């Protein structure tokens, strides 16, 4: 099993333990075996046991394949990947924006504020402000 890795945005991601070809073959086995079983769940459990994977893992692979082939509603794998990429980009832009705004809001960085920034600003219980 490969170790998790950290992407440049700091988010941990883990590559799959199983090759895509193995997952595809397992899903096909479930599709072929389902008519011979009382339910799809029974077929999934049987195939999972034969392949040495958990039933829940195989069930997720089957559901993902159904979504990707438009047999079930939901976001496809490609759409999910794009959504994750956009969310990472958005988080990175928010961090950069926060850093820029944080620097721009320091009184010493603003023109004409150096004189006003000397001393300590005290805020009273009533919300009043005074330089000390």
**Is residue 11 over pLDDT 90?**
no
Query: What is the rounded distance in angstroms from the CA atom of residue 65 to the CA atom of residue 60?
Result: 9
Query: How much is the pLDDT for 4?
Result: 44
What are the pLDDT digits (tens) for 35-53?
Answer: 999 999 999 999 999 999 9
Establish if 121 belongs to a structural domain.
Answer: no
- Domain count within the chain: 1
Domain range for 32 is 5-98
The residue among 111 and 6 whose pLDDT is bigger is 111
What are the pLDDT digits (tens) for 75-125?
Answer: 999 999 999 999 999 999 999 888 877 776 566 655 665 545 455 656 666
The first and second tokens of residue 95, run together, are: 């961090």
Tell me the CATH number at 30.
1.10.10.10
Contacts of 131 (CB under 8 A, 6+ apart): 119, 120, 121, 122
Contacts of 30 (CB under 8 A, 6+ apart): 40, 43, 44, 47, 58, 62
Task: pLDDT band for 15, please (50, 70, 90 cuts).
Answer: confident
**Is residue 72 over pLDDT 60?**
yes
Query: What is the rounded distance in angstroms from the CA atom of residue 14 to the CA atom of residue 5?
Result: 6
Establish if 108 belongs to a structural domain.
Answer: no
Picking from 1, 72, 5, 58, the residue whose alpha carbon sits closest to that of residue 30 is 58
Query: How much is the pLDDT for 9?
Result: 47
């Amino acid at each position: 099993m490969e170790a998790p890795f950290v992407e440049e945005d700091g988010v941990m991601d883990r590559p799959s333990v199983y090759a895509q070809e193995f997952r595809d073959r397992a899903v096909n086995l479930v599709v072929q075996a389902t008519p011979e079983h009382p339910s799809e769940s029974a077929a999934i459990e049987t195939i999972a046991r034969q392949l040495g994977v958990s039933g829940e893992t195989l069930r997720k692979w089957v559901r993902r394949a159904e979504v990707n082939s438009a047999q079930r509603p939901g976001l496809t794998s490609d759409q999910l990947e794009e959504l994750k990429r956009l969310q990472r980009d958005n988080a990175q832009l928010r961090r950069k924006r926060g850093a820029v705004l944080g620097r721009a809001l320091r009184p010493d960085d603003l023109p004409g504020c150096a004189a006003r920034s000397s001393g300590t600003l005290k805020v009273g219980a009533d919300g009043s402000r005074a330089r000390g």
